[in-house]
Amino acid sequence: MKICDVLQKDAILDDLKASNKKAVLQEMGAPVAAIAGVDLENLVRVLMERERLGSTGIGGGIGIPHGKMKDLESLVLGFGLSRKGVDFESLDGRPTHIFFMLVTPENSTGLHLKLLARISRILKNDPFKHRLMKASDRDEIFNIIQEEDEDF
């Protein structure tokens, strides 16, 4: 499964305004909840519960908040870019700039893990991360992700 098979342009935020973890989840969660047809408050609660197990801020400026929801039909992916960076309680203690938010149906563990692994793999590519940071709008972000996604 490719990232762009799941990522919709409406779920790409090219300039996050949030300044803390919960605000990032709310801001990114709004379009994701709308696409998924789920309640935003419930979505944020699920993601915050997952964060309590350990931060999904994996370091290197990257956060991959994710969770599973009962009422979900299919997996939904969102992307957010914070130009100034957010304290996301990352493993390396540095600000987080690039976010992928993944929400999957409760019973879809395999799909969930495959997409998380794919996202993690492409984010190991520093030139890719630099191109994302310089992107000016959601169309450019989508095209950069699509280009990188094709190479994997």
**Catalytic residue list:** 66
Bridge partners, 37 (sequence order): none
Contacts of 32 (CB under 8 A, 6+ apart): 11, 43, 76, 77, 78, 101, 103
Q: Which of 86, 99, 83 is nearest to 12 (CA)?
A: 99
Q: How many residues does the chain have?
A: 152
Beta strands in the chain (DSSP E): 7-13, 57-59, 62-63, 66-69, 76-86, 96-105
Element holding 141 (H helix, E strand): helix 138-150
Helix, strand, or coil here: 73? coil
